[in-house]
Structure 1
Amino acid sequence: MRITSKGQVTIPVEIRERAGLLPNTEVEFEFDGKVVRIVHAGSRKKDSRGARLISHLRGRGDVAMSTDDIMALTREG
């Protein structure tokens, strides 16, 4: 892996997935004199991967149906 002239590096997808680093995840860098670590910025227990995913998807739906209409569709059959 190579750092670009802008100081950028691509984090491999398997590491991003295992670490829960979704697009727009805020991160911080820590340096102990030998090792650089990327950590979630302001890590909080309630800021779970699922909560970030829901936040990312909120407002993106484009179906003009009420919850009752959607539930009625799931019960048909």
Structure 2
Amino acid sequence: MATATLTSKGQITIPASVRDALHIDAGDRVEFVEVGPGRYEFIAATRPVTALKGMFGKSRKAVSIEDMNAAISARGASAR
């Protein structure tokens, strides 16, 4: 099992075996996903956003850019 120590600045060095297994390198992004109380998964966020294309299939209803902008504005205003 690979282990790491947390520094006083909240930083850790990811062991080389873990970096190799996740295919991550300096400058790559990672995500911490809570999977349960006190439990997190450490996930490499190295896939490009274009990899999401087609993930959800065709939309049932066409939505215009204006409708999208209005929904974003409404949600942003309600968050304040």
Q: TM-score range by the shorter chain?
A: 0.3 to 0.5
